Structures are given as structure tokens and as C-alpha cells.
Amino acid sequence: MTTSTVLLRLTGLTKTFGGLTAVDNVTFDVQQGQIYSIIGPNGAGKTTVFNLITGIYKPTAGDIVLGGQSIAGLTPDRVLRRGITRTFQNIRLFNNMTVLENVLVGQHTRIPGDLPSVLLHLPNYRRADSRAHARALELLRFFGPALVARKDDYAANLSYADRRRVEIARALGSTPKLLLLDEPTAGMNDPETAEAIGYIRTLRNEFDLTILLIEHKLQVTMGISDQICVLDYGKKIAEGVPAEIQRNELVIEAYLGRKAPVE
Amino acid sequence: MSTQTQNLRGPSSIMGTVRERLDKTQIGGRPPSYYLSGWRLGVFFLALALLFPLVTDQTLQVTAISVGVYVLLALGLNIVVGYAGLLDLGYVAFFVVGSYTVAVFTGGILQRSDGTVAEIRQFPFWYLLPLAALLAGLFGVLLGAPTLRLRGDYLAIVTLGFGQILPIVFQNVPWFFGQLGMSALPPPDIGPISFSDTGNRAPFYYLTLLLVVLVILAVSSLRDSSLGRAWVAIREDETAAAASGINLVRTKLLAFGLGAVTGGIGGALNASFLGAIAPTDFNFGISITILVMIVLGGLGSIPGVIIGAMLLRFFDVYLLGKINDTVHSSPLVTGDGSPLHFLATLDFNTAKYLIYGLILMAMILLRPQGLIPNIRRQRELAGIGAAPEGVSAVGLFEQEVAGEELAAVDVGEQTEYVGEGSEALGREDHV
């Protein structure tokens, strides 16, 4: 951690669905340039935190501050314009669009959207559009020439690992400050997971990102995280550097269950 | 690991057969067409259309103009339904707004309910065409704004209601000429070109053609723009689209608005061509007719939609009459004792919507992608890439890393584990 600027700050973030409190008074800071992980058992509210940050849900209480400005309650497209993008746990590509088109949609905000520009393909629109094409190819190339070769294939026809890659390429299209990755190694075996971890580090360095990561696999988070927050039943039960988390009694309990009382 | 590989042969071989099927039907590999591809074909048809009045009589030209009006309407509805995927059953509303804008502002001969007749002369058609487009677009946005939260059937019902209400409003609000409407609208004469000669329909024909060509250029430009991409993205996955920076409200309203603008242009042209309007001309049947046109031709496909409109309009103004004549003069029907005698009193024009309904059903059952399909729509209808909601795609696809094919690991939501030898925590994920 070279700088100590807070990029994202959650304060008392709460979300209830009827009687269920999915996220309960969660507070944490993410520093600029960090890889910050949120871990916790199934149903702990990790994805809900992501949905709150990206504006898919509106918080019941609490605040979300990005670089000093509150983004709580903004619509997802506004949140993206402020510099946050995300991937989804179950990979949500536009299946009947080509790989290139998927990555182009990620750059939607970089192309003028006013009606005259769009309708008449005015010079400023054309320039932005060809810049977007070039950048889309660049992003695909980052993940290897194999993906560039498949740019005109429909996203539905890609392998699972390639779909993950395209989703990240799409998310990077808007040149975000903060990238939210929701279980990027879900469904991957050990060698693939190792490769993905390498990618996450490279992404942070190459694209000058701060990364907020949801991860199930403890070995993944321990290896790459600067800071970890543990959620259980919507509450933050621990926060700290990986070594602290590994020793934390509450965390072990949340994952493995309570120790049987010794007679 | 090896047993898992065995288990996964099933799904991956299913993927294999799907791909084979795709290749056979030629919808797998080919990417969607881009701006003005196939333009040679377009120029060819444009040349044919330009020569059309030189080789045809007035009747055919009049038919062509009314076909052109419906081509405009179908292209407009296609923006809403075909591109943005919003089912609009009240599209006639924008046709009404376009027609009435022209009628109200050009003036004409007005028959009041007390029997008096008034003649009003106001603005020329050429100012009113853009005004009609603008006002219809405004109505489109007005209708769109409150209905954006609705999806599927609910949106269809609200738009249907809007389409029903608007003609009734025009019929009953005093300054819109009431039940009898307005007649003798002035023709859009400009300089030496006279549109009023009923013996020479070529000017109107070329005006219609010009508008159709302009609208085709506009909608193909939209389709291949970032806006067109945004529409497809919204149709595919609204959440992912919003998370990619697409403003859902603005993008959907643009679809409604632009569709309505086209409807308004169609209405203005039609009112001016017919020279008369009456509120009873605008009914639910028109909304359905246009919908059948675009489903018949192929949702989202510009050539498909044009063909659909032409076929159905041809059927309506020409074929239906022929069927009537043929059936009514057939000896099977005219003979007194013949079993088909009941058909003698059946006017097939009244069965028009029954036939449209049958066409709609037949298309949905047999060829939902339409006669000239949009490739992407065809894929959507074939269910390609449509993962069941809430089901993780994990395990359905074989994985490749650095060209090496690896067995998929079936790591479901509920079977995640931590570290070596630890127990799985089978807690349901609520979020």
C-alpha cells in the first residue's frame, strides 16, 4: 500500500428484503490501488453488497462514497459513469451478440449517444466508434490472440473460461477506477484458478485499478488480497490483512461451524 | 476428476449437436450484417421502385402508395418491438396523431353535427409533416414514460389501452371535428408539382417512396449504431446492460419515441393522400395488422418487415377481393343444394382479422423467426445461449485454457468448500 487515499467507503450500509436483513450495517474502506476481498459463507450478503454499490439495489440505510462523493441510490449506468464496473457471479454476457459487440457495449458511455450523432453517424460519432472498436480489440488482445480471432463469434459459443475473459474485457471498456469481480474463479479448477489470480494482479497493475473481489475460495483471497472483509449473515465479523483473518476465531467458526463445547 | 469428465460428456455432446444444427441452418457462424451491406440489392429494388409508375396504371400506383404507408408503419413498429423488444399493441395511436396533426393544421371541409359545413384553409402539408413526426414522437415518449416499469404482457395491455383511447379522444374532444371527421384536405402541392390530379398519382407515389427510403436509411443507421447495440443488449439482459452504462429509461424511451415518429410520418402521409380522416378509421385492427406484418416478415429484419407489410397489404387490398369473387362465383357455392352454399353470404373482408390471427398463429408455431429473419432474433428464438434464470452456467460448457481442453469442474453454488477436508456449508444463498 503506497498511498492511503480512500477510494470507496461504505458506512453503515444496510439492505433489508421484507423481514430479511441481507446486509446489516456494513462499514469498510477500500484504499486506492488495493485488492480488497469480501469473503463469507453462502448467503452472507456478498453479492448484495455488490448490487448495492453498483446501483442494482437501493440501500435501506447507510452510505456509499466513491472518491468523496456519495453514489448511494444512483442508477447502475450513473454508477458506471462515476467509474465503477463489475462482473457477475454467473457471467452475464449478451449471448446473441458477438464477442466484439459485447466489448463494445462495455464502452457505451464513450460513444456519443445524442440522436443526431447516432442517426447521421456524424464525424464525432464515427471517430468515437472507431476508437471504441480499436480499444475493444486491444482489450481482447490483452487476454490473448485466441480471443481476437473469435471476435465475430457469438458469445454463447465461447468456452466457459473465455466467457469470463470477455466479461472482464467488457467491464474494462469504460476505463473504471474500481472493478468489482464477483467470484471470478467460480467453476474453475486449480490450475485455472491459479491463472485467474495472476490475471487479477496484472489487471490491477496494467489498468491502474482498485479491485473489490468476492471470493469463496480462501486460498485465492489469502494469496492476492491486501485487505479482507468477512461477512456472515449480512454482518461484518472481521476485517484485516490475510494473516489476521486466517487466525480469527469468528471467521473459522463461520466457515466450519462452532466448536463442540468441551465436557 | 476422470469420473467428472465422464459425467460431462453428456452436456458437451449436446452442445455439439446444437452447433451442428446451427451450421446446417446457417445461423451459427455468420455475424450480423452491418450498415448497408447488401446495398446492391437495395439499389436494384430502388431502381425498380423508381420505374414502377412508368409501367403501371393508376390503380396499381394507388395500391403501392397504401402499401408504402404500411411499410412506414411496420418499419416504425419494428423499432419498438423488433429492436427494443417492447411489445406495443397500441401503435395505431401514433398513426392517429400524425393523421390528425395534418388534418387539424391543413384544414379542409368540416361537417358539423348540426349539418353546417365550414371550409378552413391553413398551413401547407410540408410544414406539417415534421410537426406530425414531432408530435407523434412526443406522444410516444408520453406513453413510454409511465409504462417503462412494465414488462411483457403488462406493457402490451397498457399500450393496447392507449391505442383504444386516443381515437375516442379525437372523436369526442370538440375541436377535433367529431364523428364525421374532416374531408377535402388540401393536397400538398408544391411549385409546379400538383398532387391533386387523381388521374396522375405519380407525385404521391414518389413522395411515399422518398419517405420510405429515408426511413429505411434511418432505421438501418440506428440498428448499426451504439443505440442499436444498446437495444439488443437490453433485450438480452437488462441488468448487464445497465451495469455496462446503458441508461435503460432513455434507451427505451428513444425506441418508443422513434417508433412513434415513424408512425406519425405514416399517418401524415396517409391523411394527405386520402384527403380525409375520420376517427372510426383508426382501430385496434390497424395495430394488430402492423404487428402481424412484422412477425410475418421477421422481427428486427428490415427487408423482412418490408416484405411482411407488402404481402399483407397486397392480401388486404387485392387478394381478399379476389377470394371473395372466386368463392362467390364458384359452382360449389352458388348451387342451391351444394354443401358450401353458406359461403355465398360470407364476406371474406369481414373475416380478415380471423385470417390475420391464423397467419400470426401459424407463423409463431411454424416459423417464428419470420420469412426473412434477423439472424440474431433467429438465434434468440432457437433458445441459443438462453441459460435458465438463476441457474449457473458452470458445468454446461467445456473449458479451455491455453488451447488445452480441461474437464469442467462441477462447482455448484451450494457445494463450495473451504480448504482441504473441510465440510461443505450447504446454506442457501439468499442474495
- Residue-level pLDDT at B301: 93
Edge-to-edge strand order for the sheet containing B109-111? B117-119, B109-111, B182-183
Within its chain, how far is the Cα of B27 from the centroid? 22
What DSSP element (H or E) covers A227?
Answer: strand A227-232
Sorted by where each begins, the domain ranges of chain A are 1-83+176-263, 92-163
Query: What whole-number distance in Å separates Cα of residue B75 and Cα of residue B258?
Result: 10
- Over residues A131-158, the mean pLDDT reads 92
* pLDDT score, position B113: 66
**What integer pLDDT is reported at residue A263 of this predicted model?**
57
CA of residue A81 relative to chain centroid, distance: 15
Task: Indicate the SS3 state at residue B301.
Answer: coil
Chain A residues closer than 8 Å to B27 by CB: none
pLDDT for A262:
65
Phi, psi (deg, nearest 5) at residue A149: -65, -25
Whole-number pLDDT of residue B409: 29
Map residue A13 onto helix, strand or coil.
strand
Q: Which residue of A has its CA nearest to B222?
A: A119
Q: Between B377 and B251, name the one with better pLDDT.
A: B251
CB distance A52 to A60 below 8 Å: no
B108 with B185: CB under 8 angstroms?
A: yes
Per the listing, cell 421484507 goes with: A18
Q: Rounded to 5 degrees, what are φ and ψ at B416? A: -70, 145
Q: At what angle do helices B202-223 and B39-55 cross, to 10 degrees?
A: 170
- Residue A256 in this model has a pLDDT that exceeds 90: no
* pLDDT(A142) > 60: yes
Q: What pLDDT was estimated at residue B22?
A: 39
Tens-digit pLDDT profile for residues B95-145: 999 999 998 888 777 766 676 777 777 788 899 999 999 999 999 999 888
Mean pLDDT of A126-148: 93
Residue B422: pLDDT over 70: no
For range B417-421, the mean pLDDT: 30
In this predicted model, what pLDDT tens digit does every residue of A151-176 receive, in sequence order? Answer: 999 999 998 889 999 999 999 999 99
Residue B11 scores a pLDDT above 50: no
Q: Is A197 exposed, middle or buried (0-12, 13-18, 19+ CB in 10 A)?
A: buried
Position B288 confidence tier, pLDDT thresholds 50, 70, 90: very high
Range in A107-121, A155-169, B163-177 with the lowest mean pLDDT = B163-177
Cell of B264: 406519425
Q: State the pLDDT at residue B393.
A: 31
Q: What is the CATH number of domain A1-83+176-263?
A: 3.40.50.300
If we measure between CA atoms, which residue out of A198, A244, A252 comes closest to residue A224?
A198
CB atoms within 10 A of CB B428: 8
Q: Answer yes or no: is pLDDT of B230 > 90.
A: yes
Q: How far apart are alpha carbons B359 and B296 in whole angstroms?
A: 8
Question: Checking DSSP bridges between strand B399-401 and strand B404-406, what pairing results, if any?
Answer: antiparallel
In B, minimum Cα distance to A20 occurs at B430
Q: Which of A153, A54, A160 is nearest to A103 (CA)?
A: A153
Give whole-number Cα distances, B315 to A252, B309, B312, B319, in Å.
74, 10, 5, 5
Q: Do B430 and A115 touch (CB under 8 A)?
A: no
pLDDT of B396 reads: 28
pLDDT band for B71, please (50, 70, 90 cuts): very high
| pLDDT value, residue B237 | 93
* % of chain A residues with pLDDT over 90: 75
Chain A residues 84-103 within an 8 A CB cutoff of chain B: 85-86, 88-98, 101
Which pLDDT band holds residue B24 (cuts at 50, 70, 90)? very low
Identify the residue whose cell numbers are 472481521.
A238
Phi and psi (nearest 5°) for A74? Answer: -70, 155
Q: How confident is the model at residue B415 (pLDDT cuts 50, 70, 90)?
A: very low
pLDDT tens, residue by residue, B366-387: 988 889 888 888 887 776 655 4
Between A191 and A29, name the one with better pLDDT.
A29
Residue B324 or residue B272, greater confidence: B272
Of A164, A51, A90, A180, the closest CA to residue B390 belongs to A90
* Mean residue pLDDT across chain B: 78
Q: Do B248 and A161 touch (CB under 8 A)?
A: no
Q: Nearest by CB to A108, which of B246, B411, B429?
A: B246
Contact flag A255-B376 (C-beta cutoff 8 Å)? no
Question: Please, which residues bridge with residue A17 across strands?
Answer: A20
Size of chain B in residues: 431
User: Which of B31, B225, B400 is opposite residue A98, by nearest beta carbon?
Assistant: B31
Predicted pLDDT of residue B66: 92
Whether the predicted pLDDT of B388 surpasses 90 = no
Structure confidence by residue, pLDDT tens digits, A33-89: 999 999 988 889 999 999 999 999 999 999 999 999 999 999 999 999 999 999 999
Structure confidence at residue B384 (pLDDT)? 62
pLDDT surpasses 60 at A227: yes
**Interface pTM, i.e. ipTM:** 0.91
> Pick from B415, B208, B337: which is nearest to A216 by CA?
B415
Percentage of chain B with pLDDT > 70? 78
Percent of chain A with pLDDT over 70: 97
Interface check for B424 against chain A (CB to CB < 8 A): the answer is no
CA distance A44 to chain B (A): 8
Lookup: cell for A59 = 440501500
Q: Give B114's contacts (C-beta < 8 A, 6+ positions apart).
A: none
- DSSP state letters, B138-162: HHHHHHHHHHTT--HHHHHHHHHHH
